[in-house]
Amino acid sequence: MAAGSKTAEPELRRSVTPWGSFSWGYSDVGADIFVGLGLVLAWAAGASNVAFLFAGVVYVCIGLAYTELAATYPVAGGGQYFVMRGLGDIFGFVAGWAVLLDFTIDVTLFAWTSVDYTSQLVPSLVNSVHPWLHFGVVLGLVVGLCLLNVIGVRESTTFNGVVSALDVISETCILCFGFLFAFRPQLLVHTMQMHWPSSYDLMLGTSLAIISFVGLESISQAAQETQRPASIIPRTSVSLILTILIFALAYSNLALGLHPWHPITDAAGHPQQFWQIFPNNPDNQGKAVALLAAQVPYYGAFAALYVPVLGAVLLLISSNSGVFGSSRIAYAMSTSNLLPSLFARVDRKFRTPVISIVFFSAIAVVELIFAAAPALFPAVSSLYTRFFHGENGLDFLADLYAFGAATSYSFVFLGLIGLRLTDPLSPRKFRIPLNVPMRFRGERVEFPLIAVVGFIGIFSILMFTLFTHPLGRIFGPSWLLLGLLFYLAYRRYRRLPVLRSQPRDWRNAQTEILRRAGELELMDEYVANVKASDARRAGQGT
Amino acid sequence: MLFFRALLAVAMVLCGLVILVRMAQALPAGGFAVLPGIVLGAAMIALGVHRLSLIARVRGMM
């Protein structure tokens, strides 16, 4: 065993506190509701809270799965590492490639909505009024974040913590004032009964609701840089999962049952409910939380001034995590021979993976051009209307975001089941509940029922996405297919197993992972488990 | 600080209970419509209890 072995490689690990770990995840996942709320209200209408409920239940299952996996295997590779280890190289590549799609979309989508939130205070940035200016500012943000990551400037954990704390306090205040002074339960029931959407729109809304819960990769990234992750990660993850779920359900219920502080009317002067300002209005969809905050009695006068700024900052942090995260996932995939070593190359001057950062930022810019094209060029707009149900830029980005998330999460559930069966010896300080004990290849294992429930849930969301998103069902699978072809060609070129996995010494790898994480008790337990298993097998052999 | 955090956690459990009770009262009229609200209340109670258990563990270590 390599328990005591020293390595010459520089270690990424640093001391992240429990709050740092929570805020790291929160600044990533917490920003999603700022994007998802308006989109879901636009399509799921009176069933928006049900769409969030369905996606939220699936998200809780995903969150628990990530918590168990990140606490057991605290490495930054995240989903692709778990899937590669549980199911094999090719599945690990597909999961990682889907995560990379999500990270590149993350960069564009969150920079886009960051500008939308800013437009609440700076009207000249409204996309429908000045599309070229909107495009230019989003492009400037993406390029700026790329440059910051190239030269190695990252927002500090302290900055993340302060913004997250401000946002938790702010959202709690908005919801408290909203539920106390503007929420009408009868209006909620009335809205749900009178404005229940068609099955198609409900499926579309539900598939969009999952984008409010994307970013759980940050749990594994935090695990990589947290001391004693097996103890810390479950504590912070459960809080994070429940906080995000509460905010999503509370916002959607409040939006449907909100009695606006100021009367809202349509173009003809007829009174409208709050949620009715979102359908067919992409400008409003991109800044839903700011609009809702402004409609909360008393507190809204103050919230209208700062929520757009806070939202814009939080979204920009999330956008930055896309630039940083994509380069890190590409680095992890490259070191596992799933991508060329080019992506793991670190620049001598800046000591950052410049090629990875520039490559995936360039993809984000291409996605931005596709998203902005209908607003910039009328000819493209008519093309989108004819072939893609008239989807706008925000829809395009949300489609792909939902597709990438649903695909990678589906594989993570399968990876969890695979690891429970093939690696029962690794100590699991946190296990998702509801397990069925059984024997597999001579070892006692526990089959996770929640993973099956979660897989069915996320797979149905993936089907909803493919069925209801005209752009997502073309560009999403195309991204996977292109990546798969590239992977097959690369593995063949490198003379590595193409469809099968490269042989790896997972036992030594696991010991080293636990040693680096400072989980020495778990490392000893793992070594003891391995020895006992080997002795048992030797006894059976004789 | 620990006392303040415990107070917040208790407040969260109480808020969750209030939501749960109010939603349960609206169940005959609202039917399926109150389900997201019931889950919201349950999630708030779960988060409050989780925070309290963490605080109790820290208190046990002190």
Tens of pLDDT, residue by residue over B8-61, are: 899 889 988 988 888 888 788 777 788 888 999 999 999 999 999 988 887 776
Please answer yes or no on whether A185 and B40 come within 8 Å at the CB atom.
no
In this complex, how many residue pairs, one in chain A and one in chain B, have their CB atoms less than 8 Å apart? 51
Of A210, A211, A219, the residue nearest A109 (C-alpha): A211
At A538, the amino acid letter reads: A
Q: Please tell me the pTM assigned to this model.
A: 0.90
Residue B59 Cα, gap to closest chain A Cα (Å): 15
Per-residue confidence band for A246, with pLDDT thresholds at 50, 70 and 90: very high
pLDDT at A254: 93
Q: Is the ipTM of this complex over 0.85?
A: yes
Give the chain B residue nearest A239 (alpha carbons).
B47
- HSE of A245, CA atoms in CB hemisphere, 13 A: 30
What is the SS3 string spanning A42-95? HHHHHHHHHHHHHHHHHHHHHHHHHHHHHHHCCCCCCHHHHHHHHHCHHHHHHH
Q: Which residues of A touch B40 (CB under 8 A)?
A: 246, 249-250, 253
pLDDT at A22: 81
Residue A61 Cα, gap to closest chain B Cα (Å): 14
Chain B residues 7-26 within an 8 A CB cutoff of chain A: 22, 26
Q: Which of A53, A189, A239 faces B26 most closely, judged by CB atoms?
A: A189
pLDDT at B59: 77
In chain A, % of residues over pLDDT 90: 53
Summarize the confidence of residues A270-293 as an average pLDDT. Answer: 90
Indicate the average pLDDT of chain B. Answer: 86
> DSSP assignment of A400-433, as one string?
HHHHHHHHHHHHHHHHHHHHHHH-TTS--SS--S
B36 reaches A (C-beta below 8 A): yes
| B19 token code pair | 């939501």
3 state SS of A447:
strand
In chain A, % of residues over pLDDT 70: 95
Q: Which of A52, A193, A246 faces B33 most closely, judged by CB atoms?
A: A193
B39 reaches A (C-beta below 8 A): yes
Tens of pLDDT, residue by residue over A1-55, are: 333 344 444 454 455 677 777 887 887 888 889 999 999 999 999 999 999 999 9
Indicate the average pLDDT of chain A. Answer: 88
Token pair 């599309």 in the structure block, residue: A131
Q: Which residues of A touch B37 (CB under 8 A)?
A: 49, 188, 249, 253
Is the pLDDT at A356 greater than 60? The verdict is yes
Is the pLDDT at A353 greater than 80? The verdict is yes
The torsion angle over the Cα atoms of residues A71, A74, A79 and A82, rounded to 10 degrees, is -80
Tens of pLDDT, residue by residue over A302-323, are: 999 999 999 999 999 888 888 8
